[in-house]
Chain A
Amino acid sequence: MTPFVGSAFGGNTNIIVLSPSVGDKKFTFGGSLSFLSDGLLGLEAEVAHTPHFFESSRGGLVLQSRVSTVSGSLIAAMPIAITGYSLRPYLVGGVGLLHASSHGLIDLNSFDSDLLALNLGGGAIGFITNKTGVRFELRNIRNLSPDDSTATTSGRSTRLSFWRASVGIVLRY
Protein backbone atom coordinates (compact mmCIF):
# COMPACT_ATOMS: atom_id res chain seq x y z
CA MET A 1 0.00 0.00 0.00
CA THR A 2 1.35 3.39 -1.00
CA PRO A 3 -0.17 6.66 0.16
CA PHE A 4 1.40 9.46 -1.87
CA VAL A 5 1.49 13.21 -2.35
CA GLY A 6 2.79 15.14 -5.29
CA SER A 7 2.19 17.66 -7.96
CA ALA A 8 0.00 17.66 -11.08
CA PHE A 9 1.58 19.79 -13.78
CA GLY A 10 1.84 20.30 -17.54
CA GLY A 11 -1.92 20.13 -17.93
CA ASN A 12 -3.39 20.55 -21.36
CA THR A 13 -7.02 20.64 -22.43
CA ASN A 14 -9.27 21.95 -25.16
CA ILE A 15 -12.23 22.20 -22.78
CA ILE A 16 -13.34 25.82 -22.43
CA VAL A 17 -12.46 26.28 -18.78
CA LEU A 18 -11.94 30.06 -18.67
CA SER A 19 -8.89 29.81 -16.49
CA PRO A 20 -5.22 30.38 -17.28
CA SER A 21 -4.16 27.74 -14.76
CA VAL A 22 -4.55 24.40 -16.52
CA GLY A 23 -0.80 23.97 -16.93
CA ASP A 24 0.07 25.20 -13.43
CA LYS A 25 1.39 22.96 -10.67
CA LYS A 26 -1.32 21.69 -8.34
CA PHE A 27 -1.09 19.66 -5.14
CA THR A 28 -2.26 16.10 -5.60
CA PHE A 29 -2.66 13.14 -3.27
CA GLY A 30 -3.85 9.56 -3.38
CA GLY A 31 -3.09 5.97 -2.63
CA SER A 32 -2.43 2.73 -4.39
CA LEU A 33 -2.65 -0.94 -3.64
CA SER A 34 -0.08 -3.02 -5.49
CA PHE A 35 0.80 -6.62 -5.80
CA LEU A 36 4.38 -6.83 -6.93
CA SER A 37 6.29 -10.07 -6.82
CA ASP A 38 10.06 -10.37 -6.76
CA GLY A 39 9.87 -11.07 -10.48
CA LEU A 40 8.92 -8.87 -13.44
CA LEU A 41 5.18 -8.20 -13.28
CA GLY A 42 2.73 -6.74 -10.84
CA LEU A 43 -0.73 -5.25 -10.58
CA GLU A 44 -1.90 -1.96 -9.13
CA ALA A 45 -5.16 -0.25 -8.23
CA GLU A 46 -4.89 3.47 -7.61
CA VAL A 47 -6.99 6.45 -6.58
CA ALA A 48 -5.74 10.04 -6.89
CA HIS A 49 -7.31 13.40 -6.30
CA THR A 50 -6.23 16.88 -7.42
CA PRO A 51 -8.39 19.63 -5.91
CA HIS A 52 -8.49 23.11 -7.51
CA PHE A 53 -7.21 21.65 -10.79
CA PHE A 54 -8.66 24.41 -13.00
CA GLU A 55 -8.49 27.28 -10.52
CA SER A 56 -5.89 30.01 -10.65
CA SER A 57 -4.54 32.78 -8.48
CA ARG A 58 -3.82 34.65 -11.74
CA GLY A 59 -7.47 35.30 -12.53
CA GLY A 60 -9.94 33.17 -14.37
CA LEU A 61 -13.56 32.49 -13.71
CA VAL A 62 -13.45 29.09 -12.00
CA LEU A 63 -14.74 28.96 -8.42
CA GLN A 64 -14.41 25.25 -7.70
CA SER A 65 -12.79 22.40 -9.55
CA ARG A 66 -11.13 19.02 -9.21
CA VAL A 67 -9.73 16.09 -11.15
CA SER A 68 -9.91 12.58 -9.70
CA THR A 69 -8.71 9.31 -11.17
CA VAL A 70 -9.39 5.67 -10.42
CA SER A 71 -7.29 3.23 -12.38
CA GLY A 72 -6.06 -0.31 -12.67
CA SER A 73 -2.58 -0.83 -14.05
CA LEU A 74 0.02 -3.37 -14.96
CA ILE A 75 3.50 -2.93 -13.45
CA ALA A 76 6.69 -4.14 -15.12
CA ALA A 77 9.49 -3.89 -12.56
CA MET A 78 13.15 -4.80 -12.59
CA PRO A 79 13.39 -8.21 -10.82
CA ILE A 80 14.89 -8.19 -7.35
CA ALA A 81 17.42 -10.68 -8.60
CA ILE A 82 18.95 -7.83 -10.61
CA THR A 83 18.40 -4.82 -8.37
CA GLY A 84 19.14 -6.50 -5.05
CA TYR A 85 18.33 -4.12 -2.18
CA SER A 86 18.86 -0.91 -4.13
CA LEU A 87 16.19 1.17 -5.90
CA ARG A 88 13.90 -0.97 -8.04
CA PRO A 89 12.81 0.80 -11.24
CA TYR A 90 9.45 0.04 -12.84
CA LEU A 91 7.13 1.02 -15.67
CA VAL A 92 3.39 1.28 -15.12
CA GLY A 93 0.45 1.61 -17.47
CA GLY A 94 -3.27 1.14 -17.26
CA VAL A 95 -6.74 2.45 -17.82
CA GLY A 96 -9.41 3.84 -15.57
CA LEU A 97 -11.88 6.59 -14.97
CA LEU A 98 -11.04 10.28 -14.90
CA HIS A 99 -13.54 12.64 -13.33
CA ALA A 100 -13.02 16.32 -14.11
CA SER A 101 -15.29 19.03 -12.82
CA SER A 102 -15.27 22.80 -12.86
CA HIS A 103 -17.83 25.32 -11.70
CA GLY A 104 -17.84 29.03 -12.44
CA LEU A 105 -19.98 32.03 -11.55
CA ILE A 106 -22.43 31.04 -14.26
CA ASP A 107 -23.10 27.71 -15.95
CA LEU A 108 -21.21 28.68 -19.10
CA ASN A 109 -17.92 27.07 -18.10
CA SER A 110 -19.26 24.52 -15.65
CA PHE A 111 -18.92 20.82 -16.37
CA ASP A 112 -18.83 17.41 -14.68
CA SER A 113 -17.18 14.90 -16.97
CA ASP A 114 -16.46 11.22 -16.49
CA LEU A 115 -13.91 10.11 -19.02
CA LEU A 116 -12.13 6.86 -19.77
CA ALA A 117 -8.44 7.54 -19.18
CA LEU A 118 -5.06 6.06 -19.95
CA ASN A 119 -2.10 6.40 -17.61
CA LEU A 120 1.52 5.63 -18.45
CA GLY A 121 4.56 6.25 -16.33
CA GLY A 122 7.47 4.95 -14.39
CA GLY A 123 9.29 5.25 -11.13
CA ALA A 124 11.45 3.54 -8.58
CA ILE A 125 10.87 1.88 -5.22
CA GLY A 126 13.45 1.61 -2.51
CA PHE A 127 13.00 -0.10 0.87
CA ILE A 128 14.43 1.45 3.99
CA THR A 129 13.30 -1.38 6.25
CA ASN A 130 11.83 -4.77 5.51
CA LYS A 131 8.30 -3.33 5.65
CA THR A 132 8.72 0.32 4.72
CA GLY A 133 10.00 2.01 1.62
CA VAL A 134 9.76 5.10 -0.58
CA ARG A 135 8.33 5.36 -4.08
CA PHE A 136 9.15 8.07 -6.62
CA GLU A 137 6.96 8.18 -9.69
CA LEU A 138 6.10 10.20 -12.80
CA ARG A 139 2.88 9.48 -14.69
CA ASN A 140 1.10 10.94 -17.68
CA ILE A 141 -2.68 10.75 -17.57
CA ARG A 142 -4.88 11.48 -20.58
CA ASN A 143 -8.48 10.88 -21.52
CA LEU A 144 -9.43 8.25 -24.09
CA SER A 145 -13.15 8.96 -24.42
CA PRO A 146 -14.79 12.33 -25.17
CA ASP A 147 -17.55 14.14 -23.34
CA ASP A 148 -19.77 15.63 -26.01
CA SER A 149 -21.57 17.85 -23.51
CA THR A 150 -18.53 20.01 -22.78
CA ALA A 151 -17.64 22.93 -25.04
CA THR A 152 -14.16 22.82 -26.54
CA THR A 153 -12.04 25.53 -28.10
CA SER A 154 -11.83 23.64 -31.39
CA GLY A 155 -15.34 22.23 -31.48
CA ARG A 156 -13.72 18.78 -31.61
CA SER A 157 -13.62 15.94 -29.07
CA THR A 158 -12.67 16.62 -25.47
CA ARG A 159 -8.94 16.46 -24.75
CA LEU A 160 -7.48 16.54 -21.23
CA SER A 161 -4.03 15.43 -20.13
CA PHE A 162 -1.57 16.18 -17.36
CA TRP A 163 1.55 14.90 -15.66
CA ARG A 164 1.78 13.80 -12.06
CA ALA A 165 5.00 13.58 -10.05
CA SER A 166 4.62 11.94 -6.68
CA VAL A 167 6.47 10.57 -3.73
CA GLY A 168 4.89 7.90 -1.56
CA ILE A 169 5.51 5.78 1.49
CA VAL A 170 5.41 2.09 0.61
CA LEU A 171 4.01 -0.10 3.36
CA ARG A 172 4.64 -3.77 2.62
CA TYR A 173 2.48 -6.59 3.97
Chain B
Amino acid sequence: MRHLRIRVTALSVAAFLFATAVAPAANAQSLTFGLFERYLDALRLELNIPGLSAAVVQNGKIVWDHGFGSRDVAASLAAAADTPYPVANLSETFGAALVLQQCIDRGDEIALNDRVVRWTTFPEPTTTIAQVLAHVNASNVYQYDTTRFGSMSGVVVECVDQPYPRIMATEVLDRLAMTDSVPGRDVVEAPGSQVFPAVTLDRYRGVLTRMAAPYRVDSKGAAIRSDYTQRSLTGSNGLISTVRDLAKFDTALADGILLSPESRAAMWAPGSSRPTGLGWFVQSYNGERLIWHFGLAKDAYSSLIVKVPGRQLTLILLANSDGLATSFTPTAGDVTQSIFARLFLTLFIS
Protein backbone atom coordinates (compact mmCIF):
# COMPACT_ATOMS: atom_id res chain seq x y z
CA MET B 1 0.00 0.00 0.00
CA ARG B 2 2.87 2.34 0.92
CA HIS B 3 4.64 1.49 -2.37
CA LEU B 4 1.49 2.26 -4.30
CA ARG B 5 1.18 5.64 -2.56
CA ILE B 6 4.82 6.46 -3.38
CA ARG B 7 4.26 5.51 -7.05
CA VAL B 8 1.11 7.62 -7.24
CA THR B 9 2.95 10.55 -5.68
CA ALA B 10 5.90 10.12 -8.08
CA LEU B 11 3.54 9.97 -11.06
CA SER B 12 1.74 13.10 -9.85
CA VAL B 13 5.04 14.95 -9.49
CA ALA B 14 6.08 13.78 -12.97
CA ALA B 15 2.74 14.91 -14.44
CA PHE B 16 3.09 18.28 -12.71
CA LEU B 17 6.64 18.72 -14.01
CA PHE B 18 5.49 17.79 -17.52
CA ALA B 19 2.58 20.19 -17.32
CA THR B 20 4.73 23.09 -16.09
CA ALA B 21 7.82 22.44 -18.22
CA VAL B 22 6.68 20.80 -21.46
CA ALA B 23 3.13 21.99 -21.95
CA PRO B 24 3.99 25.71 -22.00
CA ALA B 25 6.62 25.05 -24.66
CA ALA B 26 4.06 23.15 -26.72
CA ASN B 27 1.53 25.93 -26.20
CA ALA B 28 4.08 28.54 -27.26
CA GLN B 29 4.81 26.57 -30.41
CA SER B 30 1.12 26.15 -31.26
CA LEU B 31 0.63 29.89 -30.66
CA THR B 32 3.49 30.62 -33.07
CA PHE B 33 2.01 28.33 -35.70
CA GLY B 34 -1.43 29.87 -35.11
CA LEU B 35 0.01 33.32 -35.75
CA PHE B 36 2.00 32.05 -38.73
CA GLU B 37 -1.18 30.55 -40.18
CA ARG B 38 -3.12 33.81 -39.78
CA TYR B 39 -0.39 35.89 -41.37
CA LEU B 40 0.17 33.41 -44.18
CA ASP B 41 -3.50 33.42 -45.12
CA ALA B 42 -3.68 37.23 -44.86
CA LEU B 43 -0.68 37.46 -47.21
CA ARG B 44 -2.33 34.99 -49.58
CA LEU B 45 -5.50 37.07 -49.66
CA GLU B 46 -3.67 40.38 -50.11
CA LEU B 47 -1.59 38.96 -52.98
CA ASN B 48 -4.71 37.35 -54.49
CA ILE B 49 -3.19 33.88 -54.52
CA PRO B 50 -6.07 31.43 -55.13
CA GLY B 51 -4.44 28.42 -53.49
CA LEU B 52 -1.43 27.95 -51.23
CA SER B 53 0.02 24.87 -49.55
CA ALA B 54 2.60 25.18 -46.81
CA ALA B 55 4.72 23.01 -44.55
CA VAL B 56 7.28 23.61 -41.83
CA VAL B 57 9.85 20.88 -41.28
CA GLN B 58 11.85 20.68 -38.07
CA ASN B 59 14.42 18.03 -37.17
CA GLY B 60 13.40 15.96 -40.19
CA LYS B 61 9.68 15.91 -39.41
CA ILE B 62 6.75 17.97 -40.65
CA VAL B 63 5.70 19.88 -37.54
CA TRP B 64 3.00 21.88 -39.30
CA ASP B 65 1.33 21.82 -42.70
CA HIS B 66 -1.76 23.43 -44.12
CA GLY B 67 -3.67 24.28 -47.27
CA PHE B 68 -5.22 27.71 -47.86
CA GLY B 69 -7.75 28.78 -50.46
CA SER B 70 -8.60 26.80 -53.57
CA ARG B 71 -6.66 24.51 -55.83
CA ASP B 72 -9.52 24.94 -58.32
CA VAL B 73 -11.64 28.07 -57.84
CA ALA B 74 -14.42 27.18 -60.29
CA ALA B 75 -14.88 23.69 -58.85
CA SER B 76 -14.54 24.97 -55.25
CA LEU B 77 -11.82 22.44 -54.48
CA ALA B 78 -9.75 23.36 -51.45
CA ALA B 79 -5.96 23.42 -51.50
CA ALA B 80 -4.42 20.98 -49.02
CA ALA B 81 -1.00 19.89 -47.83
CA ASP B 82 -1.12 17.01 -50.31
CA THR B 83 -2.17 19.12 -53.30
CA PRO B 84 0.32 18.70 -56.18
CA TYR B 85 1.70 21.79 -57.96
CA PRO B 86 4.30 22.22 -60.68
CA VAL B 87 7.29 23.51 -58.71
CA ALA B 88 8.74 25.31 -61.77
CA ASN B 89 12.45 26.12 -61.40
CA LEU B 90 12.52 24.75 -57.85
CA SER B 91 13.23 21.63 -59.96
CA GLU B 92 16.81 22.93 -60.12
CA THR B 93 17.42 21.68 -56.60
CA PHE B 94 16.56 18.17 -57.81
CA GLY B 95 18.69 18.62 -60.94
CA ALA B 96 21.68 19.65 -58.86
CA ALA B 97 21.17 16.70 -56.51
CA LEU B 98 21.07 14.26 -59.45
CA VAL B 99 24.23 15.69 -61.04
CA LEU B 100 26.08 15.34 -57.74
CA GLN B 101 24.57 11.95 -56.87
CA GLN B 102 24.72 10.21 -60.24
CA CYS B 103 27.84 11.79 -61.71
CA ILE B 104 30.14 13.09 -58.97
CA ASP B 105 29.44 10.79 -56.00
CA ARG B 106 29.59 7.64 -58.19
CA GLY B 107 33.25 8.38 -58.81
CA ASP B 108 32.98 8.25 -62.59
CA GLU B 109 35.40 10.19 -64.72
CA ILE B 110 33.19 13.25 -64.57
CA ALA B 111 34.15 16.22 -62.36
CA LEU B 112 32.49 19.50 -61.48
CA ASN B 113 35.22 21.40 -63.28
CA ASP B 114 34.65 19.51 -66.52
CA ARG B 115 33.44 21.61 -69.39
CA VAL B 116 29.76 20.96 -70.03
CA VAL B 117 30.41 20.36 -73.75
CA ARG B 118 32.48 17.30 -72.83
CA TRP B 119 29.28 15.56 -71.70
CA THR B 120 26.35 17.15 -73.48
CA THR B 121 25.41 19.70 -76.12
CA PHE B 122 25.94 23.20 -74.76
CA PRO B 123 26.39 26.56 -76.53
CA GLU B 124 29.29 27.78 -74.35
CA PRO B 125 32.52 25.88 -75.07
CA THR B 126 34.44 26.80 -71.91
CA THR B 127 31.70 26.80 -69.25
CA THR B 128 32.05 24.15 -66.56
CA ILE B 129 29.38 22.03 -64.88
CA ALA B 130 30.05 23.84 -61.58
CA GLN B 131 29.53 27.20 -63.27
CA VAL B 132 26.15 26.17 -64.68
CA LEU B 133 25.06 24.72 -61.34
CA ALA B 134 26.07 28.00 -59.65
CA HIS B 135 24.42 30.19 -62.31
CA VAL B 136 27.66 31.90 -63.26
CA ASN B 137 28.80 32.49 -66.80
CA ALA B 138 32.14 31.54 -68.34
CA SER B 139 33.64 34.72 -66.85
CA ASN B 140 32.51 33.67 -63.36
CA VAL B 141 29.91 36.44 -63.15
CA TYR B 142 26.59 35.54 -61.53
CA GLN B 143 23.84 35.37 -64.14
CA TYR B 144 20.66 33.50 -63.27
CA ASP B 145 19.57 31.52 -66.32
CA THR B 146 17.20 28.63 -65.87
CA THR B 147 17.52 27.58 -69.52
CA ARG B 148 21.28 27.02 -69.14
CA PHE B 149 20.63 25.06 -65.96
CA GLY B 150 18.15 22.86 -67.84
CA SER B 151 20.99 21.36 -69.81
CA MET B 152 22.20 19.60 -66.65
CA SER B 153 19.69 16.84 -67.38
CA GLY B 154 21.88 15.99 -70.42
CA VAL B 155 24.88 15.52 -68.12
CA VAL B 156 22.90 13.21 -65.80
CA VAL B 157 21.62 11.17 -68.76
CA GLU B 158 25.21 10.80 -69.98
CA CYS B 159 26.21 9.45 -66.55
CA VAL B 160 23.34 6.97 -66.15
CA ASP B 161 22.31 6.23 -69.74
CA GLN B 162 18.60 6.33 -68.99
CA PRO B 163 15.86 8.89 -69.73
CA TYR B 164 16.01 11.79 -67.25
CA PRO B 165 12.43 11.35 -65.91
CA ARG B 166 13.22 7.72 -65.14
CA ILE B 167 16.41 8.65 -63.28
CA MET B 168 14.47 11.25 -61.29
CA ALA B 169 11.77 8.69 -60.47
CA THR B 170 14.03 5.82 -59.42
CA GLU B 171 16.84 7.74 -57.73
CA VAL B 172 14.82 10.38 -55.88
CA LEU B 173 11.03 10.12 -56.04
CA ASP B 174 10.62 6.36 -55.50
CA ARG B 175 13.59 6.12 -53.17
CA LEU B 176 12.09 8.76 -50.86
CA ALA B 177 8.48 7.53 -51.28
CA MET B 178 7.48 10.82 -52.88
CA THR B 179 4.31 9.18 -54.15
CA ASP B 180 2.49 12.44 -54.95
CA SER B 181 5.24 13.67 -57.28
CA VAL B 182 5.44 13.30 -61.07
CA PRO B 183 8.64 13.68 -63.16
CA GLY B 184 7.03 15.86 -65.85
CA ARG B 185 3.46 16.01 -67.08
CA ASP B 186 4.31 14.36 -70.39
CA VAL B 187 5.41 11.05 -68.83
CA VAL B 188 1.82 9.83 -69.00
CA GLU B 189 1.65 10.60 -72.72
CA ALA B 190 2.99 8.41 -75.54
CA PRO B 191 5.80 7.83 -76.35
CA GLY B 192 7.22 8.86 -72.96
CA SER B 193 4.79 6.50 -71.22
CA GLN B 194 6.93 3.53 -72.35
CA VAL B 195 9.50 4.62 -69.75
CA PHE B 196 7.29 3.64 -66.78
CA PRO B 197 5.18 0.57 -65.94
CA ALA B 198 1.39 0.87 -66.19
CA VAL B 199 0.83 0.91 -62.43
CA THR B 200 3.22 3.86 -62.04
CA LEU B 201 1.56 5.71 -64.90
CA ASP B 202 -1.84 5.19 -63.23
CA ARG B 203 -0.45 6.73 -60.04
CA TYR B 204 0.98 9.65 -61.98
CA ARG B 205 -2.37 10.22 -63.70
CA GLY B 206 -4.07 10.24 -60.31
CA VAL B 207 -1.63 12.88 -59.04
CA LEU B 208 -2.08 15.03 -62.16
CA THR B 209 -5.88 14.86 -61.72
CA ARG B 210 -5.47 16.46 -58.28
CA MET B 211 -2.95 19.05 -59.48
CA ALA B 212 -3.79 22.67 -58.64
CA ALA B 213 -5.12 24.69 -61.57
CA PRO B 214 -2.94 27.66 -62.66
CA TYR B 215 -4.18 31.27 -62.34
CA ARG B 216 -3.03 34.70 -63.38
CA VAL B 217 -4.08 37.71 -61.36
CA ASP B 218 -5.32 40.73 -63.31
CA SER B 219 -4.76 44.39 -62.39
CA LYS B 220 -7.96 44.39 -60.30
CA GLY B 221 -6.85 41.39 -58.28
CA ALA B 222 -9.16 38.84 -59.90
CA ALA B 223 -7.77 35.32 -60.38
CA ILE B 224 -8.28 34.16 -63.95
CA ARG B 225 -7.66 30.58 -65.03
CA SER B 226 -4.50 30.41 -67.13
CA ASP B 227 -2.42 27.77 -68.84
CA TYR B 228 0.87 26.14 -67.93
CA THR B 229 2.88 25.05 -70.92
CA GLN B 230 5.86 23.25 -69.35
CA ARG B 231 5.20 19.55 -69.95
CA SER B 232 8.62 17.88 -69.87
CA LEU B 233 11.04 17.44 -67.00
CA THR B 234 14.38 19.17 -67.54
CA GLY B 235 17.29 19.84 -65.24
CA SER B 236 15.60 23.06 -64.18
CA ASN B 237 11.85 22.67 -64.62
CA GLY B 238 8.86 20.39 -64.96
CA LEU B 239 8.62 18.54 -61.64
CA ILE B 240 5.19 18.26 -60.00
CA SER B 241 5.16 17.77 -56.24
CA THR B 242 3.49 18.54 -52.92
CA VAL B 243 4.80 20.28 -49.82
CA ARG B 244 4.74 16.94 -48.01
CA ASP B 245 6.83 15.25 -50.70
CA LEU B 246 9.23 18.20 -50.83
CA ALA B 247 9.61 17.81 -47.06
CA LYS B 248 10.84 14.24 -47.69
CA PHE B 249 13.40 15.58 -50.19
CA ASP B 250 14.46 18.25 -47.69
CA THR B 251 14.93 15.68 -44.93
CA ALA B 252 16.81 13.30 -47.22
CA LEU B 253 19.26 16.07 -48.15
CA ALA B 254 19.72 17.05 -44.52
CA ASP B 255 20.23 13.43 -43.40
CA GLY B 256 22.77 12.67 -46.13
CA ILE B 257 20.57 10.00 -47.73
CA LEU B 258 20.90 11.38 -51.26
CA LEU B 259 24.38 12.85 -51.33
CA SER B 260 27.83 12.35 -49.89
CA PRO B 261 28.82 14.86 -47.19
CA GLU B 262 31.35 16.41 -49.61
CA SER B 263 28.77 16.94 -52.36
CA ARG B 264 26.22 18.33 -49.93
CA ALA B 265 28.78 20.74 -48.51
CA ALA B 266 29.71 21.87 -52.03
CA MET B 267 26.04 22.29 -52.93
CA TRP B 268 25.35 24.60 -49.99
CA ALA B 269 28.67 26.46 -49.90
CA PRO B 270 28.31 30.16 -50.72
CA GLY B 271 30.37 31.63 -53.52
CA SER B 272 32.57 34.66 -52.88
CA SER B 273 30.94 36.90 -55.48
CA ARG B 274 27.61 35.20 -56.10
CA PRO B 275 24.50 34.38 -54.04
CA THR B 276 24.51 30.72 -55.07
CA GLY B 277 25.92 27.38 -54.10
CA LEU B 278 25.30 24.56 -56.57
CA GLY B 279 21.61 24.58 -57.52
CA TRP B 280 20.67 26.56 -54.40
CA PHE B 281 20.84 30.15 -53.18
CA VAL B 282 22.93 30.64 -50.05
CA GLN B 283 23.04 33.72 -47.81
CA SER B 284 23.37 34.87 -44.20
CA TYR B 285 20.65 36.26 -42.00
CA ASN B 286 21.25 37.40 -38.41
CA GLY B 287 24.19 35.03 -38.11
CA GLU B 288 22.23 32.09 -39.55
CA ARG B 289 22.94 30.50 -42.92
CA LEU B 290 19.90 30.44 -45.19
CA ILE B 291 19.66 27.98 -48.07
CA TRP B 292 16.77 28.61 -50.38
CA HIS B 293 15.29 28.39 -53.82
CA PHE B 294 12.24 29.65 -55.62
CA GLY B 295 10.07 28.57 -58.51
CA LEU B 296 8.28 30.93 -60.87
CA ALA B 297 6.02 30.14 -63.80
CA LYS B 298 4.66 33.56 -64.73
CA ASP B 299 0.87 33.83 -64.49
CA ALA B 300 0.61 30.21 -63.32
CA TYR B 301 2.61 28.89 -60.36
CA SER B 302 5.25 29.81 -57.80
CA SER B 303 7.14 28.07 -55.03
CA LEU B 304 9.59 28.82 -52.26
CA ILE B 305 11.74 26.71 -49.97
CA VAL B 306 13.79 28.30 -47.20
CA LYS B 307 16.12 26.17 -45.08
CA VAL B 308 17.79 27.24 -41.85
CA PRO B 309 20.30 24.43 -41.33
CA GLY B 310 21.49 25.81 -37.99
CA ARG B 311 17.98 25.32 -36.58
CA GLN B 312 17.15 22.23 -38.68
CA LEU B 313 14.15 24.20 -39.86
CA THR B 314 12.60 24.47 -43.34
CA LEU B 315 9.66 26.34 -44.84
CA ILE B 316 8.06 24.99 -48.02
CA LEU B 317 5.41 26.94 -49.97
CA LEU B 318 3.61 26.07 -53.22
CA ALA B 319 1.05 28.34 -54.91
CA ASN B 320 -1.15 28.25 -57.99
CA SER B 321 -0.36 31.82 -59.07
CA ASP B 322 2.97 33.61 -59.35
CA GLY B 323 2.25 35.53 -56.12
CA LEU B 324 5.05 33.99 -54.06
CA ALA B 325 7.64 35.54 -56.35
CA THR B 326 6.07 38.84 -57.47
CA SER B 327 6.62 40.89 -54.32
CA PHE B 328 10.41 40.55 -54.62
CA THR B 329 13.09 39.80 -57.20
CA PRO B 330 14.27 36.29 -56.30
CA THR B 331 17.08 36.22 -58.84
CA ALA B 332 18.72 39.12 -56.94
CA GLY B 333 19.63 36.48 -54.36
CA ASP B 334 18.15 37.97 -51.18
CA VAL B 335 15.26 35.89 -49.84
CA THR B 336 14.74 38.30 -46.95
CA GLN B 337 13.10 40.60 -49.52
CA SER B 338 10.30 38.02 -49.79
CA ILE B 339 7.47 38.91 -47.42
CA PHE B 340 6.71 35.19 -47.02
CA ALA B 341 10.30 34.40 -46.05
CA ARG B 342 10.35 37.42 -43.74
CA LEU B 343 7.22 36.15 -41.97
CA PHE B 344 8.87 32.77 -41.43
CA LEU B 345 12.17 34.27 -40.27
CA THR B 346 10.46 36.80 -37.99
CA LEU B 347 8.36 34.19 -36.22
CA PHE B 348 10.77 31.27 -36.10
CA ILE B 349 14.29 32.74 -36.15
CA SER B 350 14.33 36.33 -34.88
Contacts and interface: CB of A to CB of B under 8 A. Distances in A.
A152 B323 CA distance: 11
Interface stretch (B111-119, B126-134, B175-183, B325-333): B325-333
Nearest to B338: A151
Contacts of A17: 46
Contact of B327 (A16, A59, A106, A107): A16
A59 B342 CA distance: 21
Given A154-B326, A155-B327, A20 B346 contact: no
Contacts of B327: 16, 151-155
B343 interface: yes
A155 B43 contact: no
Contacts of A45: none
Contact of B46 (A105, A106, A153): A153
Contacts of B339: 16, 108, 151
B14 interface: no
18 contacts: A16-B47, A16-B339, A19-B42, A61-B38, A61-B39, A106-B35, A106-B39, A106-B343, A106-B347, A107-B346, A151-B339, A151-B342, A152-B327, A153-B47, A153-B48, A153-B326, A154-B326, A155-B327
Given A153-B326, A155-B328, 17 more contacts: A16-B46, A16-B47, A16-B339, A17-B46, A18-B42, A18-B43, A19-B42, A20-B45, A59-B42, A61-B38, A105-B35, A106-B35, A106-B39, A108-B39, A108-B346, A152-B327, A153-B47
A106 B326 contact: no
Interface residues of B, number: 18
Contacts of B347: 106
Interface residues of A, number: 17
Interface in B33-86: 35, 38-39, 42-43, 45-48
Interface in B136-190: none
A107 B329 CA distance: 21
A154 B321 CA distance: 13
B326 A60 contact: no
Nearest to B35: A105
A105 B34 CA distance: 13
A165 to B, nearest CB: 23
A153 B327 CA distance: 5
A152 B48 CA distance: 13
Given A106-B347, A107-B346, A108-B342, A155 B42 contact: no
Contact of A60 (B42, B328, B342): B42
Interface in B282-329: 326-329
Nearest to A107: B346
A16 B346 CA distance: 16
A108 B43 CA distance: 10
